[in-house]
Structures are given as structure tokens and as C-alpha cells.
Chains A and B, each alone.
Chain A
């Protein structure tokens, strides 16, 4: 593989990322599965980078999962999005920092629709006014939270405690990246590095000492498919697509999978467990699974944050193999403990090695 072509692509797709004063909008899936990642993001921005990022408790879901499972009409989601913009406008912000990839895609799709069909924008302004009395400005800058971490990746590394290297051998850890489909596949220009060779995670991983592995099914969807996961009898779609990715990355023996999407890391994490249960097959080293990380968790580890503070105990596939390679200090006894240090309930590991 040669880097020349990639370098050209990365140069061609440089997107504008606001450098301060963000209005934060959360992700439903991440709040459920990776709430610690969102907290970590805010902590990094505020405590490490000294940035102003504002969260208004009145913001809601963008209804994106409803929209992409077709129970929410386009007009409805546009108006809900317009309401988020109104909250941003009222708070005096112009830069949106979006936690979710589905939302990010939707914000971009809607803003582009309004550009192309100005009547649509007028209609939505009226709907919003009528429903809530609110008015809004279109954000000046829409950045995904991973764009922001990408932008400040060197500043983050300057404060590092660990790097993405094997602490014993000093060699870079091998990491495969998975970019959420709606990050740039709809609008390649809206993603750092475009749709085919996004640079957003590659940039972080390389800056933090790791080595990125490009594997054949890198661009393939994780298999969420909205209704294809939501409804139990459709889940074969979801697992078979994730499995295709695992089989494709396995020969490279990756140390971790990193993702910038809310759903993908959850699926890539859980389906490894299911495949092991069903077929006894694992994809990682020493018969274990491949740890799956959100980019915030990856940043947090580099900064020396406690993995359990970041919620990495909420993964089904153990992250310890990665923590050990990086030489991170953690207390295994506190993995499933509460704030008070006492064990929370009981995790039935049911013979799961990963």
C-alpha cells in the first residue's frame, strides 16, 4: 500500500472545524451504551483544552432512529432539528458539536436540503414557529465530536500519559478504524478525509503512536441498518455484516477497533460475544475478542483517565488486553464497582471468554 494517493485525498478533503464555543447535542445510542464517552468528551474539551462547550438540558433526540426506520416523517424531523438549532441560537452559539453520527448525517442532509429547496426551509420555519414560537439560525459550523478531537489531537498528545504503543516492546499498537456510514458517505466533503479514506480516526491513531491497519472490508457498514437491528427477527442482517468485517480484519491481528459512530462500536462489541456463544469463534489474540473503543475512550486512555470512570466496563468484549499492552494501571477489582467502591450486583459471565 502506498501513502501517496491517500495523502492527496487527505489534502483534498480538509473540512472547517470550529475551534471553540460549541453547542453540544447528545446521541441517544451513546447515552445508553457509552455515556462515559460523552462525559469524557466534555471533560477533555473543558479541562484539558479549555474550550467553551454548552449543553442545554432542553435539547432532545433528533429522532434520527425513528426517521431512518421510517416512522418519523421528513417534515417532523426537520422541525425537531430546527428546534435544536433554535436552542443553539437562543444560547448565543453558532457552532454545533454533534455526538452522534446519525444526527450528524441528518443535520447535514437537512441543511443541504434547505440550500437546494429554500421553500422547504420557509415551511419548516413556519412549523417551528407555530409549534413552539421559536426561531432559529442555521449553524455556521457543524462538526462531529470526532472532528473536534481530531482537530486537537496534537494538543491532547502533548498532555499524554500513555501512547498507543505496546509498553513492553515500544512498538505501535495495530488499530483498525470503523467510520460510521453517515459520517461522510452521504456528503464526502463534510468528513475529514472524505468518504473513501477518512482521516478523522487515522489522524488520531497515528498522532497518538498507533499504527492504522487498512483491511479489505473497512468501508463496509457494521450492519446496524436501523430496523434491521431494532426488530429481533431481522438481526441476522446486523450480525452477518459485522461478521464480514471481523473475518476481514482478523488476519491482521489488530489490537483494537476504534470507531466514531454511536452504534457501530456497540455492535462490533456485542456481536463478537454472540459469535463466540454461537460458534465458539473469537477474533482477537489468545482466544479473546478484539477490544472495541470509542474515540473518546481512546483519547481518555492516552490522557491517563481511569477506564472504569469512562465506562469501559460497559463493554461486553473485555478491554483489558488492550489496557495491559498499553501498560495502563487499573484496578480489576473495581471494574464492576459503584461510586462507593462496592460491587454493583453480579455479572454472569456465562462462559464468555471475550
Chain B
């Protein structure tokens, strides 16, 4: 199947692109366009052109990973498009085809899958207090560090039910509920997406010379988490 045709299978693509008149409204308010060398208008233009080689290039590029999915572009587009939704369809396809490992920003999918993905399936949360390790989150500041170091007591102080039974903030999600989430991932293609991310990332890690002694590819993950070639911003 042609890449363009594959994109059209995604409902978000159908929702995201009617036809683009190149007005630039989306780019004008896009927080990503202000920071990165990124132009959502051009993304809409490329997919609309149905030019297979340009679409392939896009799927392998950093460009599709710049968007912050804030959906500010949806409010304003005079043609009812939403470049954020087009991006979501492109990112899904890029992961399906393994193209995401071709770009620095795309390679970050593995670490997101490992942290957020596994939190969702095995803990029932996207993020958890124990993820906020001060070295990885210096922006959380001394208060963040204090919360992290003393999380049991701090959460208790504000009536959260951290890791506890029953209701409340940060409660432990009962096992039978996590089993249901697991089943949902199994049936709806959630694990398939996870496996694609793992599979293509490992291939890439090896080809980049990261050792696979450790099946976790920790070095590769650390590399993708912290690397920034400095070429992403507008000149």
C-alpha cells in the first residue's frame, strides 16, 4: 500500500486534513514553530501533495516529532484542518514502519514507551512520584526534590492515598483493574505498538553500536533522552 493510502486509514488523518490553502494560520500560533525549525503548514502541504518520496522523507525526519499536540491549530484553520491530528497519524505510521528510528527526535519514543507506557499498563497511571528522580528532573527544584525524597509523608500530609487501598489520589490500582487494562492493550493493538517501538529501537541501537549485553539498552535510552544535536531550532 502506498504511504499516502496508509495515512488515509487513520481516522485522525481523515479528521485532520480536508484541503490546505497554505494560509499559514496554523504556523502563526504554533508553539512548536516558534521554537523549532518547524512549519505545520508545510506538513499539511507535503501530505496533500501525495508525493510518496516526500512523505517517506517526512516519516523519517525530526520534523514530525516537533509538534506538542496542543491542538491550538485546530481552533483556527479556515479549512477545518488540524495539523496536530495529521502529525498524530504520521507518527503512528512512522512507528509502524520503523522509520522513527531514523531521526534523533523519533528515537525518543523508546524511553517514552518504557516510562509512560509501562506505567500505564502495570500501574494504571501515566506518571508516578517515583519517576520524578531529581537528577532527571532538575526543573522540579528543591521542593520537587523534597517531595521525592519524602514522598510517603508529603502525600500523606495532603490526604493523598499514595500506594494505599481504596479511593484517593495516587491510590494503588487494584490488580483486577490492571488486568483489564492489560487485556485492552492486548486486544486493541497497544502491545503491538509497544513491540514495534522495542523492535525497531533495538535494531537501531545495535546499528549505532550500542551493546545489547544488557537487553534493556539502557545506554541507548540514556543517549536518546539527553542528546540534542543543536540543529533543531530556527537559524
Residues on A with C-beta less than 8 A from B126 are 28-29, 61, 63-66
CB of B152, distance to nearest CB on chain A (Å)? 9
Report the minimum CB–CB distance from A148 to chain B (whole Å).
18
Q: Give the contacts of B148-195 with A (CB-CB under 8 A).
A: 149-150, 153-160, 165-171, 173-174, 176-178, 180-181, 183-190, 192-194
Judge whether B208 is part of the interface by a CB distance below 8 angstroms.
no
* A76 and B112 form a contact (CB under 8 A): no
Whether A241 contacts B35 by the Cβ 8 Å rule is yes
User: Chain A interface: which of B17-25, B49-57, B224-232?
Assistant: B224-232
Which of A57, A58, A182, A270 has the largest number of chain B CB atoms within 10 A? A57
Q: How far is the CB of B217 from the nearest CB of chain A, in Å? A: 16
Which chain A residues (13-35) contact chain B, with CB distance < 8 Å? Answer: 26, 28-32, 35
**B41 contacts A by Cβ under 8 Å:** no
Q: Taking CB as reference atom, which chain A residue is nearest B150?
A: A345
Known contacts A39-B160, A240-B35, A315-B143; decide if A65 and B116 are in contact (CB<8 Å).
yes
Q: Are B69 and A225 in contact (CB under 8 A)?
A: yes
The stretch that binds B, out of A139-147, A204-212, A216-224, A246-254, is A216-224
Compute how far the CA of A75 lies from the CA of B184 in the bound complex, rounded to whole angstroms. 9
Query: A58's closest neighbor in chain B, by CB?
Result: B177
Find A76's partner among B68, B111, B188 (CB 8 Å cutoff). Answer: B188
Residues B193 and A72 in contact, CB atoms below 8 Å apart: yes
Judged by a CB distance under 8 angstroms, whether B74 is at the interface is yes
Question: Does B202 belong to the interface (CB within 8 Å)?
Answer: no
* Interface residues on chain B, size class: 35 or more
- Interface residue ranges of A251-271 to B (CB < 8 Å): 270-271
Expressed in whole angstroms, the minimum distance between the Cβ of A117 and any Cβ of chain B is 6
Show the binding face of B for A, using Cβ within 8 Å. Answer: 10-12, 15, 29, 31-32, 34-36, 65-72, 74-75, 82, 88, 91-92, 95, 105, 108-109, 111-113, 115-117, 119-120, 124-129, 132, 136, 138-147, 149-150, 153-160, 165-171, 173-174, 176-178, 180-181, 183-190, 192-194, 197, 224-228, 233
Additional 11 contacts, C-beta under 8 A, given A35-B169, A63-B126, A83-B180? A31-B170, A58-B176, A70-B92, A73-B189, A181-B70, A226-B68, A230-B116, A237-B35, A240-B35, A309-B159, A348-B146
* 20 sampled A-B residue pairs with Cβ under 8 A: A29-B127, A60-B173, A61-B120, A73-B188, A74-B11, A80-B181, A127-B187, A131-B183, A186-B82, A231-B108, A232-B136, A236-B228, A237-B35, A241-B34, A270-B144, A314-B158, A316-B144, A349-B142, A350-B141, A352-B142
